Amino acid sequence: MKINTWFGVLGIGRTGEVLEFELFSKNIRELARCSIVLQENRQHLPPAGFDLKTAALECGFIESSAEYYSLLHEVTLEAAKIRVSEALTADQRIIQAVEALDDINETTNSLSERLFEWYGSYFPESGLSGEALAILIAKYGSRENISPEDPLYSRARDSMGAKLEAADEVLLKGFAESLYSLYGRKRQIENYVQDSMESTAPNLSLVAGPMLGARLISLAGSLEKLAAFPSSTIQVIGASKALFKHLRARAPSPKHGIIYSHPLINTSPWWVRGKIARALAAKLSLAARIDFYSGEKDFSLVEKLEVKVEQIKVSNPKPSQKKQDSGVKPKKKRRK
Amino acid sequence: MPEVKLLSDGIFEVTKDKKQLATKNLDPGKVVYGEKLIQVEGIEYRTWDPRRSKLGAMFLKKFNIPLKKDSKVLYLGAASGTTVSHVSDIVSGGAVYAVEFAPRSMRDFVVLASRRKNIHPVLADAGKPDSYAHIVEPVDLIFQDIAQPNQAEIAARNAARYLKRDGYLLLSIKARSIDTVANPKEVYKNEITKLEQAFEPKFEVLNAKDLMPYHEDHLGILAKMR
């Protein structure tokens, strides 16, 4: 019987004795590569309970038990390193980028609020906030420096704001520059996500939009996992708290998770959102599967989805007549 | 001067201010996950936090941990290696085959494994025991901490291939990953019945205890092949 082991191909008899063997060379990198191949094809497995170490000693691959373990250690370690470095796939890079984008959004929000409050004492009439304010401060510093050509000139001249001392001006200007550069970084990452989604998951990107698509991949963990999810799961990704509340107790089931941010849902009247979420999730799941398994762009998905959404809207012009909010809770069976 | 008491093969109780579980550090001077290093008579011990390790919790729950200096262990669900490092301390002359499926965890684990010669890392799915058949030899203990809904089945399939006739199976069952809404006690009962009857080989459960207060909704099980 022929069996594959990490150190070579053996022919063994009925009781497990080695009859013939073809050993691999003792090169750690080559052995590691072989080990990865064997792990994937899973053929000619040693029988259950087969003692690899004794076999390796018998055919003279190694001279001692200690040598066996030290070589095995090096080989498994090398194989693990190779597999780890191969694990960084395109979808994993998208996940890192989209998560970084969320961090940047959070940071720019709180920093721009801080800047608004801070600079507000010196020029409350500016009427600017966010990136525009950061640009103004980075450019001029104190409102006294605003040039006569700038539309804000007259407001700056008549402002009731306090006088900005030189030391504070340096601080504020630096702060505004950092914030401004963060906004730049944000756009850079957004473009990156858009481009990579277009090449890695074109259909998902088409149906969901690149940002939502990337967030779905990020919450699922990988494109492969997202493709394996049933559409009912995709529908509530990002609403896990509400979902488990529903499963454990009497809470209503969530209608949509993160896909709520899709314009088809959040611009529709509330009574059809659940139905549209279901239709959208079904198409998203198809899109993810096409992307993972074939990768060809299929425009019919979006067309079909739009037709379906139109149907839903036409057949539900008004909220359903069931009185949900009459004060009496609908009776629901208690789950075990 | 800290006091040291031997509790079981390779497992110690070190008393310095308070009593702590510890193992002899195989990689002196190195801290793995923020545990304390305590020197006693020239030997370095690493404290073992039962709240970070199900195996540590099982030991404190009076489980018999069938590990010796030269034991061979198949460890399913190595994660970043917190517990594996202690197993590696205990079986200093043996071998730990550490299976982990997540590349992210493996990335941290590789750093640990490269410093400890008795650890053999395997990046593979524990649910496909065939995929590491060319590497793993028969073992004295299978330890499983993988939080999968079919973990009893996975344990049985691994035991069929790798566990020696007189070897032991130690596993930690996470009720919440088998059924998020069911009562943990029911889940435990089902899982024990599964181990005893559902798969080949069948097991005899020697000990089964809740891991409170160290881990919530976890059950530790020690079993032997029937």
Structure token pair of residue A19 = 């009859």
Least Cα distance to B152 among B210, B83, B76 occurs for: B76
Same domain, B31 and B59: no
Task: Give the pLDDT of residue B114.
Answer: 95
Give me the percent of chain A exceeding a pLDDT of 90: 79
Residue range A34-55: mean pLDDT, rounded: 93
Distances, alpha carbon A201 to alpha carbons A167, A187, A231, A297, A325, in Å: 50, 20, 17, 9, 42
Same domain, A61 and A117: no
How many domains would you assign to chain B? 2
Whole-angstrom distance, CA of residue B138 vs CA of residue A53: 10
Same domain, A210 and A234: yes
Same domain, B90 and B30: no
Q: What CATH number should be reported for the domain holding residue B100?
A: 3.40.50.150
Alpha-carbon gap: B107 to the closest alpha carbon of chain A (Å): 6
CB within 8 Å: B133 and A45? yes
Residue range B117-136: mean pLDDT, rounded: 95
- Alpha helices by DSSP H, listed for A254-297, are 263-266, 270-293
Q: What CATH number should be reported for the domain holding residue A53?
A: 3.30.420.220
Residue A263 belongs to some domain of the structure: yes
SS3 B5: strand
Alpha-carbon gap: A52 to the closest alpha carbon of chain B (Å): 6
Same domain, A81 and A126: no
B156-178 tens-digit pLDDT: 999 999 999 999 999 999 999 99
SS3 B53: coil
Same domain, B111 and B8: no
Whole-angstrom distance, CA of residue B134 vs CA of residue B223: 26
Q: What CATH number should be reported for the domain holding residue A168?
A: 1.10.287.4070
CB within 8 Å: B134 and A49? no
Domain end: A162, A196, A230, which one?
A196
Task: Give the pLDDT of residue A322.
Answer: 65
Chain A CB within 8 Å of residue B31 CB: no
B8-19 tens-digit pLDDT: 999 999 998 899
Residues 111-170 of B with CB under 8 A from A: 113-114, 117-124, 128, 130-138, 160-162, 164
Residue A144 belongs to some domain of the structure: yes
Same domain, B9 and B29: yes
Contacts of B161 in chain A (CB under 8 A): 48-49
Same domain, A221 and A149: no
* Confidence at B181, pLDDT banded by 50, 70, 90: confident
Q: In sequence order, which residues have a C-beta less than 8 Å from that of residue A228 and are 6 or more positions away?
A: none
Contacts of A51 in chain B (CB under 8 A): 137-138
Same domain, A7 and A62: yes
Least Cα distance to B9 among B50, B70, B62 occurs for: B70
Backbone angles phi and psi of A52, in degrees to 5: -65, -40
> In terms of CA atoms, which chain A residue is nearest residue B125?
A39
**pTM score of the predicted model:** 0.82
Same domain, A213 and A281: yes
Alpha-carbon gap: A50 to the closest alpha carbon of chain B (Å): 7
B97-111 tens-digit pLDDT: 999 999 999 999 999
A94-145 tens-digit pLDDT: 999 999 999 999 999 999 999 999 999 999 998 899 999 999 999 999 999 9
Give me the percent of chain A exceeding a pLDDT of 70: 96
Burial class of residue B206, CB neighbours in 10 A (0-12, 13-18, 19+):
middle
Residue A330 belongs to some domain of the structure: no
By residue range, what is the domain housing residue A273? 201-315
SS3 B176: helix
Residue range A179-193: mean pLDDT, rounded: 96
For the cut 70, the answer to whether the pLDDT of residue A335 exceeds it is: no
Least Cα distance to A217 among A305, A105, A96, A298 occurs for: A96
Helix (H) or strand (E) holding A246, with range, is helix A240-248
Same domain, A220 and A311: yes
Q: Which residue has the tokens 């700038």?
A: A150
Contacts of A69 in chain B (CB under 8 A): 95, 117-118, 120
> In terms of CA atoms, which chain B residue is nearest residue A35?
B134
Same domain, B101 and B172: yes
Residue of A2, A5, A39 to mutate, testing the B interface (most B Cβ within 10 Å of its Cβ) = A39
Residue range B185-198: mean pLDDT, rounded: 93
Same domain, B40 and B107: no
* Confidence at B121, pLDDT banded by 50, 70, 90: very high
Same domain, B124 and B66: yes
> In terms of CA atoms, which chain A residue is nearest residue B96?
A73
* Confidence at A15, pLDDT banded by 50, 70, 90: confident
Task: Give the pLDDT of residue A248.
Answer: 86
Same domain, A41 and A103: no
Same domain, B105 and B174: yes
B218-225 and B163-174 beta bridge pairing: antiparallel
By residue range, what is the domain housing residue B43? 3-47
Asked whether B16 and B40 are in contact (CB, 8 A), the reply is no
Same domain, B27 and B98: no
| ipTM reported for the complex, 2 dp | 0.93
For the cut 90, the answer to whether the pLDDT of residue B226 exceeds it is: no
Q: What CATH number should be reported for the domain holding residue B17?
A: 3.30.200.20
> In terms of CA atoms, which chain B residue is nearest residue A37?
B131
Nearest to A49 among B95, B138, B182 (CB): B138
Whole-angstrom distance, CA of residue B116 vs CA of residue B113: 5
Residue A81 belongs to some domain of the structure: yes
Nearest to B121 among A4, A77, A244 (CB): A77
Q: Which residue has the tokens 């370690």?
A: A77
B59-94 tens-digit pLDDT: 999 999 999 999 999 999 999 999 999 999 999 999
Domain end: A178, A196, A214, which one?
A196
Least Cα distance to B174 among B154, B150, B157, B195 occurs for: B150
Least Cα distance to B142 among B163, B161, B128 occurs for: B163
A239-287 tens-digit pLDDT: 989 998 898 888 899 999 999 999 999 999 999 999 999 999 999 999 9
Task: Give the pLDDT of residue A91.
Answer: 93
Same domain, B98 and B183: yes
B9-61 tens-digit pLDDT: 999 999 988 999 999 999 999 999 999 999 999 999 999 999 999 999 999 99
Q: What is the mean pLDDT of chain A?
A: 91
Contacts of B117 in chain A (CB under 8 A): 69-70, 73
Alpha-carbon gap: A105 to the closest alpha carbon of chain B (Å): 25
CB within 8 Å: B137 and A76? no
Domain end: A196, A231, A249, which one?
A196
Same domain, A213 and A307: yes
Alpha-carbon gap: A131 to the closest alpha carbon of chain B (Å): 36
Residue A325 belongs to some domain of the structure: no
Residue A328 belongs to some domain of the structure: no
Same domain, A79 and A97: no
Alpha-carbon gap: B139 to the closest alpha carbon of chain A (Å): 9
Q: What CATH number should be reported for the domain holding residue A220?
A: 1.10.246.90
Task: Give the pLDDT of residue A325.
Answer: 55
Same domain, A57 and A96: no
CB within 8 Å: B134 and A6? yes
Same domain, B100 and B202: yes
Same domain, B43 and B73: no
Same domain, A57 and A124: no
How many domains would you assign to chain A? 3
